[in-house]
């Protein structure tokens, strides 16, 4: 196995396939979050806004952190692998936790029932923070791989464009697969386990 700067421990083609699959699984998890937020908060503008805001906010946070400090990572491939493991674990954990959230927090919510605005703020705020975590890890993956490919003397624009394009195609495939095939055949939990 060659490990020089030009090829690295994994060929670039393998990294591109991994990032396609990363986009695929990310949107499977997002599809599941839309479904579960709808069940927890009602199929409403609030639930959709919550999932979308946490997803976009998390992507921005993760991208910003690694974009700023990513060049200091010693082993970018290990960091990428750890981020993907974190995304899978948090994604599966959220799918399992969301249906229980209202029950687990019922003692706290009981005290807030006289103030519906406070109750809803706590419920939405907590859900937002929980969904923000895996999205931040997702946002960190692109700059980690771009740093890795640039360290191999590949152009920034080429690396970014190809990774982002493949990730977007994977995301499209994941959204379609989740909604049209996986949830129907293996259920929400099975789909989350497969994505993880």
pLDDT in tens, 119-162: 878 878 888 898 899 999 999 999 998 888 887 777 777 878 88
Task: At 159, list the tokens.
Answer: 């690396």
* Helices 76-104 & 183-195 angle (0-180, nearest 10): 130
Task: At 41, list the tokens.
Answer: 């908060």
Question: Residue with structure tokens 């890795």?
Answer: 148
pLDDT in tens, 89-101: 999 999 998 888 8
> What pLDDT, on a 0 to 100 scale, did the predictor assign at position 43?
67
Cα separation, 92 vs 25, whole angstroms: 11
pLDDT in tens, 28-55: 998 898 888 777 766 677 778 888 899 9
Mean pLDDT lowest among 27-31, 106-110, 143-147, 190-194:
106-110
pLDDT in tens, 65-93: 998 887 788 898 999 999 999 999 999 99
Cα separation, 58 vs 36, whole angstroms: 18
- Residue in 58, 32, 43, 47 with CA at minimum distance from that of residue 124: 47
pLDDT band at 8 (very low <50, low <70, confident <90, very high): low
Residues in the chain: 196
pLDDT band at 11 (very low <50, low <70, confident <90, very high): confident
- Report DSSP letters for 158-188, one per residue: HHHHHHHHHHHHHHHHHHHHIIIIIHHHHHH
Q: Where are the beta strands (DSSP E) in 3-99?
A: none
């Amino acid at each position: 196995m060659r490990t020089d700067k030009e090829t690295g421990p994994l060929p670039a083609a393998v990294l591109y396939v991994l990032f396609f699959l990363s986009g695929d699984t990310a949107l499977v998890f997002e599809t599941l979050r839309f479904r579960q937020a709808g069940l927890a908060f009602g199929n409403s503008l609030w639930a959709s806004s919550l999932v979308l805001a946490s997803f976009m906010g998390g992507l921005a946070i993760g991208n910003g952190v690694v974009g700023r400090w990513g060049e200091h990572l010693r082993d970018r491939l290990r960091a990428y692998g750890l981020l993907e493991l974190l995304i899978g674990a948090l994604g599966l954990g959220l799918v399992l936790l969301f249906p229980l959230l209202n029950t687990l927090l019922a003692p706290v919510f009981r005290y807030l029932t006289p103030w519906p605005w406070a109750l809803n703020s706590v419920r939405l705020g907590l859900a937002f923070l929980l969904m923000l975590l895996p999205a931040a890890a997702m946002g960190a993956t692109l700059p980690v791989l771009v740093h890795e490919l640039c360290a191999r003397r590949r152009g920034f624009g080429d690396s970014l464009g190809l990774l982002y394009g493949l990730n977007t195609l994977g995301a499209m495939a994941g959204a379609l697969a989740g909604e049209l095939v996986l949830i129907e055949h293996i259920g929400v939990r099975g789909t989350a386990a497969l994505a993880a």
